[in-house]
Amino acid sequence: MAKQKKTFNPRRYMEMAIEIMNQSIQEPREDKVSPNVGALLIKPNGDIETAYRGELRHGDHAEFTLLERKNRSVPLDDSILFATLEPCAPGARNHPKLGCAERIVNARIKKVWIGIEDPDPSVDRKGIKYLIDNGIEVELFDADLQVEIREANKQFILEAEERAKHAKSEPMDTVLSEKERAEPKSHLDDLSKFNLESFIEKAKLDVKFDTPKFNRVFTQLGLLEFENKKYVPTGLGLLLFGERPQLVYPNALIRATYKTKGRGEDIETVEGPLIIQADKIQSWYEARIGKQIDRSKSERQIIYDYPLVVFREAIINAIVHRDYDLEGAPIYFEINDEAIIIKSPGEPVKPLKLEQIKQFSAPSLSRNPKIMYVFDQMKLVEQRGLGFQTIKELPEKFGLPLPLVSYEEPYMVFTFPRSGEALKSVSGNDRLNELNLEELKGYDFIRLNQKTTRKEYETHFGFAKKSAERHLTHMTELGLIERKGAGPGTYYELIAT
């Protein structure tokens, strides 16, 4: 068996788990594709053992093979596990089979690194929650490796999302939010037939509103629940498709403010079901943000002072991923002369960390998988798993600074400076005032990559060697970055703020 190196490098084991994943054996059946899953176990003595889906028997989960078939009689206390797919949650397998998350807890594993969430929205993140609730530390694979895992499981993910549309099992006991439960103050008549039919059409659901099949399918999706001999909306169903969900959840809305010198304030409250809030706030945004007409091409284009595609990604992220269990906390959205500010209720969802979000390196993970699923089916969000891709392109594609990210209880706050000069005034960091615009762009480059060599910096911007050295030295003297290493190994690393 291989031995664990003294310096623990999780990236190395993530990549090894993916290599193992690629050996997965498909089940001999034609009705569905099974997932490619790899698992890697690091024991306290440094021994490493691996397993992949179907390795010893068709259909056996990688974690089951690793824990039960290869190590049934071996104490695994304090081991570390890497698994490319979220371990199945309690209740996900037919009784009396245990879910893999339960087996991990029973084995007393101390930490688990997980590749991607379960693509079934009724199970998504529940295995992760079970592990965390039982005292196991959880981390996620790096975002770029998540993309690799999704690509290897493309057909499985498509089929899993499709299976979610067909009622076939009872809802699971584990819930991620109280809004997954039946809302006692609601009735089917509170739902918008128009919006439901729009979702049914776009999601290609073979159902008609208010029929037995509709009730079964929407119960499976977690949007209805059978209670007291009748079907009623869950909190999520009401939020997504209610005529006026704010009558029950008064803060499930967006409070928008437009402030500019000489024109006072323009205030708007955006209500209605979640699936139309994004379009409502976008229309409000388009009517107020500055714009010009580009007639240089055959078809004229509207160029907004701040790119619409970035705003839309940011506001939809706020709608989809906010914490709807927080009372008295709407989304706040503000446009002013210097910045666009979005405040979304809820701290980072475990196991994501604030630093990962600040660095735009956070792996893909949804707080509200069922809301995400509906938005995805309605083509309201971009491809899942891309994370902050559009936002990360701000400096290169649009010549604009990266946003500033902070947590001001109970809000995640994203501040998008509208120019390099605006960054200086909204950042609250006086040291940035000492940088010229070229150096500000260089600082954003280091913020995005966390570290750089002089050669990488020079090549990226096409600077002369002396100019690159001058920028990096200046930022080092200001305490924005730190010089590390020596000789050819010298590099510059961002100092966390």
Q: Which amino acid is at 282?
A: Q
* Residue that terminates a domain, selected from 193, 213, 247: 247
pLDDT the model gives residue 384:
63
Q: Is residue 188 domain-shared with residue 326, that is, in the same domain?
A: no
Flag whether 255 is in a domain: no
Beta-sheet pairing, 254-260 with 331-335: parallel
The predicted structure's pLDDT at residue 389:
82
Residue 368: inside a domain: yes
Tell me whether residue 173 is in a domain: no
**φ and ψ at 296, to 5 degrees?**
-75, -15
Main-chain dihedrals φ then ψ at residue 484, nearest 5 degrees: -135, 160
For position 294, what pLDDT does the model report? 59
Do residues 182 and 286 both lie within one domain? Answer: no
Q: Tell me how far apart the alpha carbons of residues 104 and 427 are, in angstroms, rounded to a whole number.
A: 44
Residue 171: which pLDDT band, with cuts at 50, 70 and 90?
low
Mean pLDDT value across residues 356-373? 92
Q: For residue 250, is the peptide bond before it cis, meaning its omega torsion is within 30 degrees of 0?
A: no
**Which residues lie closer than 8 Å to 464 by C-beta, 6 or more apart?**
458
Which residue, 466, 471, 473, 411, is CA-closest to 444? 471
In a domain, 82, yes or no: yes
Same domain, yes or no: 237 and 297: no
3-class SS of residue 242: strand
**Per-residue confidence (pLDDT) for residue 151, from 0 to 100:** 96
161 or 341: which leads in pLDDT:
341
416 and 277 co-located in one domain: yes
Residue 320 domain-assigned? yes
Same domain, 287 and 409: yes
Instruction: Write down the pLDDT at residue 163.
Output: 83
Are residues 467 and 372 located together in one domain of the fold? no
Please compute the mean of the pLDDT values over residues 326-355 and round it to a whole number: 96
Lowest mean pLDDT of 169-183, 270-284, 316-330, 472-486, name the range.
Answer: 169-183
Q: Taking residues 178-186, what's their average pLDDT? A: 95
pLDDT value of position 245: 98
Give domain status of residue 168, yes or no.
Answer: no
Summarize the confidence of residues 25-39 as an average pLDDT: 91
> What's the CATH code of the domain at 284?
3.30.565.60
pLDDT digit string, tens, across residues 440-456: 999 999 999 999 999 99
Residues 315 and 388 in one domain: yes
pLDDT of residue 489: 93
Task: Round the average pLDDT of the chain to a whole number and report it.
Answer: 92
The phi and psi torsions of 242 (rounded to 5 degrees) equal -70, 145
Answer yes or no: is 5 within a domain: no
pLDDT tens digit string along 191-227? Answer: 999 999 999 999 999 999 989 999 999 999 999 999 9
| CA nearest to 405, candidates 309, 317, 277, 282 | 317
Domain count, the chain: 4
**Residue 367 confidence (pLDDT) above 60:** yes
CB hemisphere CA count around 114 (13 angstroms): 30
Peptide bond into 330 cis (omega under 30): no
- The whole-number average pLDDT for the span 357-386 is 87
The candidate with the shortest Cα–Cα distance to 439, out of 486, 401, 403, is: 401
- pLDDT greater than 90 at residue 296: no
Cα gap 125→123, rounded to integer Å: 6
Are residues 348 and 237 part of one domain?
Answer: no
* CATH code (residue 49): 3.40.140.10
Same domain? 397 vs 480: no
Q: What is the pLDDT at residue 223?
A: 96
360 and 341, same domain (yes or no): yes
List the CATH number of the domain containing 480. 1.10.10.10
| Residue that has been written with the tokens 């690799």 in this structure | 148
Q: Are residues 280 and 394 in the same domain?
A: yes
Q: Give the pLDDT score at 244.
A: 97
pLDDT class for 104, splitting at 50, 70, 90?
Answer: very high
- The pLDDT value recorded for residue 17 is 98
d(CA 109, CA 131): 10
The DSSP bridge partners found for residue 491 are: 484
- pTM beyond 0.75: the answer is yes
374 with 399, same domain: the answer is: yes
- Residue 392: give the domain boundaries: 265-423
Amino acid 260: pLDDT = 85
> What mean pLDDT is predicted for residues 245-261?
95
CA–CA separation, 408 and 417 (whole Å): 18
